[in-house]
């Protein structure tokens, strides 16, 4: 039912929009903000009236009011930004007022790295899939062929929650989840990006909360050569220089064979530097050909199909790209650090 307050809301919305359009200076804009959005302003005054309404009206009008406040705040911020160019000259014309510093928001370096990766994987035709941060042991370990006695299952490495749940220790569980949940049948190629957690002591290269990227490609003629091609494409595009990779045999229960992937040093181009410890190579991530048991757990015929998987930290990528010395900076909320990426 239309209500008197609804009418006041639309009148207010119109008046506010019109007068916002006419504000031509920062001080005008500040007056506008105080008049409409300030603590004693029109919008809060109206919202305070909502609680006196009959319950049936309260919710709908409350929602309309909140929406209006939200819209006006957004319009205000936009206008404020449009004035940011004037700030430098503002003090000269109004010597009595100190300039207002406007800092537009910007993205976190990990978000930037994640977005670049998304573009690259999109170019390669990979589909983005997701999984939960609170994961079932079944997906985090069992179906990945990680035996009960594997050290990664020890109490010290994993944040355990009640009811057999854990904070996922890697993004590998998303492999199974995405295949099973979407009923994927080969050939397919998926990837995932997200937070991971380990109950570890932190230092410059370890944090308890970090991010990984995970990829999985399955088909009827997928080889390690395909893997190398994909990984070199991803790294070369991410670092905007041509890189080489080398594979070292390694063990991960969910792949066979498994390997560690090294990338040619993007800092010194293999001339030898502190970052690559004079070796010319950087350790980047784990990978391998998907273990038959894991394919079976995905309901995939392992006689007919094979695939590769890889997974590694995104912090490492961002650290190399920006020469960031300590992984803990990403989560520090330290503005001196974060503002360098604006
Ligand atoms: N999940 C492993 C880790 O966090 C990394 C990894 C190794 C992912 C091999 C993979 C893989 O997909 O095939 O240490």
| pLDDT band at residue 8 under the 50/70/90 scheme | confident
**258 or 54: which carries more pLDDT confidence?**
258
User: What is the DSSP secondary structure assignment for residue 32, as one 8-state letter?
Assistant: H
Residue 97 near residue 90 (C-beta atoms within 8 A): yes
The conformational region for residue 326 under phi > 0 = left, psi -120 to 50 = alpha, else beta, is beta
Closest ligand 1 atom to 311 CA: 8
Dihedral (Cα; 42, 48, 52, 57), 10-degree rounding = 70
Mention every residue, 6+ apart, whose C-beta is less than 8 A from residue 246. Answer: 261, 262, 281
**Domains (range + CATH), the chain:** 2-83 (no CATH), 109-234+303-341 (3.30.930.10)
Instruction: Note the pLDDT of residue 59.
Output: 84
* Whether the predicted pLDDT of 311 surpasses 80: yes
> 161-166: long-range contacts at Cβ-Cβ below 8 A with a sequence spacing of 24 or more?
161/134, 164/136, 164/137, 164/138, 165/134, 165/135, 165/136, 165/137, 166/134, 166/135, 166/136, 166/137, 166/140
Instruction: Note the pLDDT of residue 124.
Output: 97
| pLDDT band at residue 204 under the 50/70/90 scheme | very high
Tokens describing residue 42:
């029109």
Reported pTM: 0.72
Least confident range from 24-28, 160-164, 186-190: namely 24-28
Encode pLDDT of 245-302 as tens digits: 999 999 999 999 999 999 999 999 999 999 999 999 999 999 999 999 999 999 999 9
What mean pLDDT is predicted for residues 178-182?
A: 96
Handedness of CA 149, 150, 156, 162 (dihedral sign): negative
Ligand 1 neighbour 255 (Cβ under 6 A): yes
| Residues 141, 254: Cα–Cα separation, whole Å | 9
What mean pLDDT is predicted for residues 148-169?
A: 88
169: CA distance to ligand 1 center in Å? Answer: 10
DSSP assignment of 51-73: TTS-HHHHHHHHHHHHHHHHHHH
**Pocket test residue of 190, 250, 254 for ligand 1, highest count of atoms within 8 A of CB:** 254
* Whether the predicted pLDDT of 149 surpasses 90: no
Q: Which of 162, 163, 170, 184 is nearest to 139 (CA)?
A: 170
Encode pLDDT of 56-112 as tens digits: 888 888 888 888 999 999 999 888 888 876 655 555 555 567 788 888 889 999 999
| Residues 171, 193: Cα–Cα separation, whole Å | 7
Beta bridge partners of 164: none
Ligand 1 neighbour 260 (Cβ under 6 A): no
Give nearest CA residue, ligand 1 atom 4. Answer: 170
Instruction: Note the pLDDT of residue 151.
Output: 81
Tokens describing residue 93:
């014309």
| Residues 37, 59: Cα–Cα separation, whole Å | 21
What mean pLDDT is predicted for residues 30-51?
A: 90
């Amino acid at each position: 039912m239309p209500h008197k307050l609804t009418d006041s809301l639309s009148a207010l919305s119109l008046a506010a929009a019109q007068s916002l359009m006419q504000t031509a200076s920062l001080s005008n804009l500040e007056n506008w903000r105080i008049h409409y959005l300030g603590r004693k302003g029109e919008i809060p005054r109206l919202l305070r009236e909502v609680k006196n309404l009959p319950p049936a009206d309260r919710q709908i009008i409350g929602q309309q009011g909140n929406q209006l406040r939200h819209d006006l705040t957004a319009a205000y911020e936009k206008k404020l930004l449009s004035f940011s160019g004037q700030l430098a000259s503002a003090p000269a014309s109004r010597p009595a007022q100190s300039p207002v510093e406007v800092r537009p928001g910007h993205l976190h370096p990990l978000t930037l790295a994640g977005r670049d990766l998304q573009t690259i994987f999109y170019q390669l035709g990979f589909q983005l899939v997701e999984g939960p941060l609170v994961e079932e042991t079944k997906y985090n370990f069992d179906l990945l062929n990680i035996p009960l006695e594997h050290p990664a299952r020890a109490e010290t490495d994993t944040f355990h929650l009640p009811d057999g749940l854990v904070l996922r220790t890697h993004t590998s569980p998303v492999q199974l989840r995405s295949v099973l949940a979407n009923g994927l049948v080969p050939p397919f190629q998926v990837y995932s990006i997200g937070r991971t957690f380990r109950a570890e002591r932190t230092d410059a290269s370890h944090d308890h909360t970090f991010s990984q990227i995970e990829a999985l490609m399955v088909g009827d003629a997928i080889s390690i050569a395909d893997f190398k091609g994909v990984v070199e494409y991803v790294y070369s595009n991410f670092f905007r220089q041509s890189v080489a990779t080398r594979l070292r045999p390694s063990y991960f229960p969910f792949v066979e064979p498994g390997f560690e992937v090294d990338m040619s040093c993007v800092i010194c181009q293999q001339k030898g530097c502190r970052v690559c410890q004079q070796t010319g190579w950087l350790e980047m991530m784990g990978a391998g050909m998907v273990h038959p048991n894991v394919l079976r757990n995905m309901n995939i015929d392992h006689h007919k199909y094979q695939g590769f998987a890889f997974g590694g930290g995104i912090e490492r990528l961002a650290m190399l790209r920006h020469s960031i010395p300590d992984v803990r900076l990403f989560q520090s909320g330290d503005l001196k650090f974060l503002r360098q990426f604006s």
